[in-house]
């Protein structure tokens, strides 16, 4: 009777094989489910990244349309700019165009379609875009009307024309003032967007179905029209922004995200980011194949070992290894296994590998937690942490009514420093300046961050103009006291320029982080363009100044925005 009970599955070898199979099969099931989930997560992550890049780029590129509106609003108030087409009008527009390189041509068009004033033309000519003329004349003087993408008659380049109706109608009739945008400025719209992995970025006009500009793969479609493409239809149907998975302009399956840029009755511009779906999934598939290959190898090894060794040489050690692996799978990265040297080498190797993997996973987890909010070189807050902190401080400032200041700090002639002393010295320079910034932004709530490259940012909650100026001066002085040699600088030492912006909330809306950054960036540009190693600042509610009939500056009625001053000496921000 006892002999009949000796069934094959009761042997140690068979039991070990069945145990290994029973342990491995669920693992393969989980891996299969995880593979499908990995594909889904890869697509979701790519879609989020594409949407973020589209939003960031749209926010940056919208500035040129705001600049155009600001310029045209100023021109509306100048008496020289009218349907009469006085000679001084052309001279004024020529000076303005020379100082605002983002605009190729600026001019005035009468209601009869004749260009009466132009920065280049000195004889009247017929305006080439009748739809833009009629639409602008029908609009209010405060409406900024955008044309479709056209080829400029004077510049012979692809352009977008912005226009506004003049405020007052002269005896010569109604007229509009226009400025054509140099689209070459969109060529750098990708920024740090990775074009090497099947990605591209474009500016499109959804109403016309045309591609205005592009980078990466999108560059090949610039100037072409795709009126019936699903992308154009999606933008027209949901102009507030969105995402879709559909064939791209080139026919390949793509993930696409888009954000509105600017629109008018004639055009609807949007920033579009795309990524090749196959490229996105290939990385996840490679990882899955590698995981399956590793799992199959481990299973085969375990089965062979179970069949040839025995319970005391394999079953008990495998049980311990399985328990440790399950703990790691549950997130307990402190799990370790300790095996006797008398056990098979394969078991000892698997034990060491598991311990090493757990240690690496634990180390990677710590590193990822630090990298999420810290710049690896300077150990300051990184860009993500800066963006989150600035948005939060803007909201807090609105609730509390306290001022908020932002400083942008840029190392002067840093490329020349790198060229002269090498990148290692450049990294050391950035780290030493970062230490000084951390010391200067020492109050609770202050935040020093690496904004990008050799540029830093300091957020100063509850700090007004004067307080920000004190911190900025302290930064300038401490960097100067640092005394780092720089033979590429006029001062022969490393210096920085500081641009500051202060928002003093008091209205119904919180100060926009993008506005604060833009104003600080303008101030930084002024500091660098007027000699460097200095501090310039902006207020978030500065007033627009214009030239009156006597050539004197006066406030523009009812306007508060990014402050542009047009004077006899040219244009500048005050």
With a cut of 60, say whether residue 551 has pLDDT above it.
no
Q: Which residue has the higher pLDDT, 507 or 114?
A: 114
Q: What is the mean pLDDT of residues 173-184?
A: 88
CA atoms of 78 and 258, how far apart (whole Å): 38
Exactly one of 393, 454, 522, 526 is catalytic; name it: 454
Cα(163)–Cα(73) distance, rounded to whole angstroms?
10
- Measured distance CA(555)–CA(259) in Å, rounded: 35
Rounded Cα–Cα distance for residues 462 and 104 (Å): 42
Contact yes or no for 333/303 (Cβ under 8 A): no
Three-class DSSP category at 398: helix
For the stretch 202-217, what's the b/e string if a residue is b when 16 or more beta carbons lie within 10 angstroms of its beta carbon?
A: bbbbbbbbbbbbbbbb
Task: Say whether 383-541 and 186-278 share the same fold.
Answer: no
Domain boundaries, the chain: 8-24+290-371, 186-278, 383-541, 544-574
C-alpha span between 422 and 443 (Å, rounded): 34
Contacts of 440 (CB under 8 A, 6+ apart): 448, 458, 471, 474, 475, 478
Q: How confident is the model at residue 208 (pLDDT cuts 50, 70, 90)?
A: confident
Read off the tokens for 52: 């973020």
Whether pLDDT at 339 is above 60: yes
Of residues 130 and 564, the one with the higher pLDDT is 130
d(C-alpha 208, C-alpha 101), whole Å: 26
With bands split at pLDDT 50, 70 and 90, how would you rate the model's confidence at 175? very high
3-class secondary structure, 248: coil
The Cα–Cα gap between 217 and 108 comes to 38
For tokens 């594409």, the residue is 50
Q: What span, in angstroms and rounded, lies between the C-alpha atoms of 543 and 548?
A: 15
- Backbone CA torsion sign across 107, 113, 114, 116: negative
Q: What is the dihedral of CA 41, 47, 49, 50, to 10 degrees?
A: 160
Q: What is the mean pLDDT of residues 549-565?
A: 39
pLDDT on residue 510: 56
Residue with the bigger pLDDT between 422 and 349: it is 422
| Cα–Cα dist 466/364, whole Å | 44
If DSSP codes are grouped into helix, strand and coil, which group holds residue 186?
Answer: helix
Q: What are the b/e assignments for 455-473, b being 16+ CB within 10 Å?
A: bbbbbbbbbbbeebbebbe
| Parallel, antiparallel or unpaired: strands 175-182 and 199-205 | unpaired
Q: Is the pLDDT of residue 514 over 60?
A: yes
pLDDT at 70 over 80: yes
Task: Check whether 518 has a pLDDT greater than 60.
Answer: yes
Residue 456 has pLDDT above 90, yes or no: yes
Q: How confident is the model at residue 542 (pLDDT cuts 50, 70, 90)?
A: very low
- Tell me what the mean pLDDT of segment 559-573 comes to: 31
Confidence at residue 186, expressed as pLDDT on a 0 to 100 scale: 66
Give me the mean pLDDT over the 383-412 stretch: 93
464: its two tokens: 């007004």
Tokens linked to 279: 């490229």
pLDDT class for 287, splitting at 50, 70, 90?
confident
* pLDDT value, residue 20: 67
Chain centroid offset of residue 361 CA:
30
- Please check the confidence at residue 135 and state whether its pLDDT lies above 70: yes
What is the structure's pLDDT at 565? Answer: 29
More confident residue, 533 or 320: 533
User: Which of 171, 111, 173, 172 has the alpha carbon at shortest distance from 136?
Assistant: 111
Whether the predicted pLDDT of 567 surpasses 60: no
Helix (H) or strand (E) holding 20, with range, is helix 12-77
Contact 63, 176 (CB under 8 A): no
Which residues does 529 contact at the CB level (< 8 Å), separation at least 6? none
| Predicted local distance difference test score (pLDDT) of residue 324 | 81
Which of 379, 102, 375, 58 has its CA nearest to residue 191?
Answer: 58
Q: Is 493 exposed, middle or buried (0-12, 13-18, 19+ CB in 10 A)?
A: middle
Q: Provide mean pLDDT across the span 459-479.
A: 95
- In the chain, the percentage of residues whose pLDDT exceeds 70 is 81
Q: Is the pLDDT of residue 307 over 70?
A: no
- Residue of 553 and 288 predicted with greater confidence: 288
* pLDDT at residue 193, as a whole number: 55
Backbone angles phi, psi at 378, to 5 degrees: -95, -15
- Please state the φ and ψ torsions of residue 197, each to the nearest 5 degrees: -120, 45
Q: How far is CA 521 from CA 206, 299, 389, 422, in A?
A: 31, 59, 18, 27
pLDDT, average across residues 74-89: 86
CB 281 within 8 Å of CB 38: no
Looking at every residue in the chain, the average pLDDT score rounds to 81
What is the pLDDT confidence band of residue 28, given thresholds at 50, 70 and 90?
Answer: low
Examine the residue annotation and report whether 454 is marked as an active-site residue of this protein. yes
How far is the CA of 372 from the CAs of 16, 44, 57, 380, 454, in angstroms? Answer: 44, 19, 22, 12, 20
Phi-psi region of 569 (alpha: psi -120 to 50; beta: other; left: phi over 0): alpha
Work out the average pLDDT over 450-474. 94
**Domain range 383-541, its CATH number among 3.40.630.40, 1.10.10.60, 3.30.70.270, 3.40.190.10:** 3.30.70.270
* Residue 3 pLDDT > 60: no
Take residue 27 and report the two structure tokens written for it. Answer: 């693992």
Vertex 312 angle, CA 310 and 313, to 5°: 65
pLDDT of residue 27: 66
Question: Residue 545: pLDDT band by 50, 70, 90 thresholds?
Answer: very low
Determine contact, residues 502/540, Cβ cutoff 8 Å. Answer: yes
Give the separation between CA 223 and CA 219, rounded to whole angstroms: 9
Backbone angles phi, psi at 563, to 5 degrees: -80, 115
pLDDT bucket at 423, cuts 50 / 70 / 90:
very high
Summarised one tens digit per residue, pLDDT across range 210-250 is 888 887 777 778 888 898 899 989 999 998 988 888 888 88
pLDDT average, residue stretch 186-190 = 57
* Residues paired with residue 538 on neighbouring β-strands, in sequence order: 501
Main-chain dihedrals φ then ψ at residue 333, nearest 5 degrees: -80, 0
Q: What six digits make up the tokens of 257?
A: 């995200």
Percent of the chain with pLDDT over 90: 35
Length of the chain: 574
Average pLDDT over residues 70-86: 88
Higher-pLDDT residue of 31 and 157 is 157
CATH dotted code for 186-278: 3.30.450.20
Q: At what angle do helices 513-529 and 383-400 cross, to 10 degrees?
A: 110
Query: Average pLDDT in the 154-182 region?
Result: 85
Query: What per-residue confidence (pLDDT) applies to 571?
Result: 28
Least confident of 100-114, 128-142, 489-503, 542-556: 542-556
Q: Where are the beta strands (DSSP E) in 504-552?
A: 535-539, 543-547
pLDDT at 137: 92
What was the pLDDT predicted at 548? 43
Neighbours of 21 (CB within 10 A): 13
Beta bridge partners of 559: none
Short-list 410, 488, 481, 474, CA closest to 443: 474
């Amino acid at each position: 009777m006892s002999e009949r009970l000796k069934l094959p599955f009761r042997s140690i070898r068979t039991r070990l094989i069945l145990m290994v199979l029973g342990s491995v099969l669920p693992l393969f099931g989980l891996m299969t489910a995880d593979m499908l989930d990995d594909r889904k997560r890869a697509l979701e992550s790519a879609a989020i990244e594409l949407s973020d890049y589209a939003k960031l780029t749209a926010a940056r590129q919208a500035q040129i349309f705001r600049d155009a509106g600001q310029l045209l609003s100023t021109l509306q108030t100048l008496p020289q700019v009218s349907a009469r087409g006085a000679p001084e009008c052309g001279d004024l527009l020529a000076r303005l165009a020379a100082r605002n390189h983002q605009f190729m041509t600026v001019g005035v068009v009468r209601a009869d379609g004749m260009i009466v004033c132009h920065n280049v033309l000195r004889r009247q000519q017929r305006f080439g875009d009748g739809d833009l003329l009629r639409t602008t004349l029908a609009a209010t003087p405060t409406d900024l009307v955008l044309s479709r993408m056209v080829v400029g008659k004077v510049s012979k380049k692809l352009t977008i024309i912005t226009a506004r109706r003049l405020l007052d109608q002269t005896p010569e009739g109604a007229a509009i003032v226009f400025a054509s945008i140099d689209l070459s400025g969109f060529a750098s719209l990708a920024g740090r967007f990775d074009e090497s992995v099947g990605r591209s970025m474009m500016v499109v006009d959804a109403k016309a179905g045309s591609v205005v500009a592009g980078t990466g793969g999108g560059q090949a479609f610039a100037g072409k029209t795709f009126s019936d493409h699903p992308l154009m239809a999606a933008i027209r149907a949901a102009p507030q922004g969105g995402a879709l998975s559909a064939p791209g302009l080139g026919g390949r399956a793509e993930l696409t995200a888009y954000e509105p840029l600017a629109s008018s009755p004639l055009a609807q511009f949007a920033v579009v980011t795309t990524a090749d779906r196959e490229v996105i999934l290939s990385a996840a598939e490679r990882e899955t194949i590698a995981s399956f290959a590793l799992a199959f190898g481990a299973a085969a090894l375990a089965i062979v070992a179970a069949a040839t060794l025995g319970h005391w040489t394999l079953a008990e050690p495998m049980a311990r290894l399985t328990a440790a692996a399950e703990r790691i799978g549950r997130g307990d990265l402190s799990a370790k296994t300790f095996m006797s040297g008398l056990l098979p080498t394969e078991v000892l190797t698997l034990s060491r590998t598991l311990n090493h993997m757990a240690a690496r996973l634990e180390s990677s987890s710590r590193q990822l937690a630090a990298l999420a909010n810290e710049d690896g070189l300077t150990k300051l807050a990184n860009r993500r942490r800066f963006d989150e902190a600035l948005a939060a401080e803007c909201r807090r400032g609105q609730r509390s009514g306290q001022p908020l200041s932002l400083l942008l700090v840029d190392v002067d002639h840093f490329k020349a420093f790198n060229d002269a002393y090498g990148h290692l010295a450049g990294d050391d320079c950035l780290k030493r300046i970062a230490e000084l910034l951390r010391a200067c932004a020492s109050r609770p709530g202050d935040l020093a961050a690496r904004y990008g490259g050799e540029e830093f940012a300091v957020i100063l909650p509850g700090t007004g103009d004067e307080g920000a100026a004190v911190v900025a001066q302290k930064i300038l002085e401490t960097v100067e006291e640092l005394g780092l040699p720089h033979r590429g600088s006029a001062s022969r030492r490393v210096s920085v320029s500081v641009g500051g912006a202060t928002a003093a909330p008091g209205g119904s809306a919180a100060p926009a982080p993008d506005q604060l950054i833009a104003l600080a960036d303008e101030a930084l540009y002024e500091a660098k363009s007027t000699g460097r190693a200095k501090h310039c600042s902006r207020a978030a509610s500065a007033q627009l100044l214009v030239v009156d009939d006597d050539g004197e500056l006066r406030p523009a009625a009812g306007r508060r925005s990014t402050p542009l001053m047009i004077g006899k000496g040219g244009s500048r921000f005050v």
